[in-house]
Amino acid sequence: MVIYGIALLGICTLIGLMLGALLGSLFGIDANVGGIGIAMFLLMFFSSSLNTRFKIGNISEKGITFWSMIYIPIVVAMAAKQNVIGALDGGLMALIAGIIVVAVSFIFIPIITNFKKR
């Protein structure tokens, strides 16, 4: 049943967000601290052990893969609802930040790939 997959995804998301909220309140800030990351690792844990311990079946799986495939369109919608006019002043900063981070990261690729050979 496709709803099983959606429900499993929902369980992971909700538990992650709850733990994130809990962490936030423990540290005394009004923020969800890493909840999405926790949820992603929870789902990875499930999908890593699905073939061995759990079985959710092909159709149930589609309840998760649908949401995974629609993530770019949702990011497009998210971009379309931002206050872009308010952000225009910082456009140059965004450009410079993007350029610097890519340039530096490229330099590190051969260094890290060859770690062990050194």
Partner 1 sequence: MDIFQEVLVNNNLITAFVFVGLTVYIAYFISHKFTEGRFHGSAIAIILALLFAYLAGLFTDGEKGVADIAILSGIGILGGSMLRDFAIVATAYGAKFSDLKSSGVAGVFSLFFGVILSFVLGAIVAIGFGYNDPVSISTIGAGTVTFVVGPVTGSALGASSDIIALSIAAGLVKSILVMTVTPIVAKQIGLDNPKSAMVFGGLMGTNSGVAAGLAAVDPKLVPYGAMTATFYTAVGCLIVPSLLFFLVGLFF
CA-to-CA distance for 104 and 45, rounded, in angstroms?
A: 32
Site for partner 1 in 80-99 (CB under 8 A): 80-88, 90-99
Among 4, 9, 18, 28, the residue binding partner 1 under the rule CB under 8 A is 9
Exposed / middle / buried, residue 46 (Cβ in 10 Å: 0-12, 13-18, 19+): middle
Site for partner 1 in 38-57 (CB under 8 A): 38-41, 43-45, 47-48
User: Does residue 28 bind partner 1 (CB under 8 A)?
Assistant: no
Q: Which is nearer to partner 1, 2 or 40 (CB)?
A: 40
CA-to-CA distance for 63 and 6, rounded, in angstroms?
A: 5
Among 18, 37, 59, 60, the residue binding partner 1 under the rule CB under 8 A is 37
CA-to-CA distance for 79 and 77, rounded, in angstroms?
A: 5
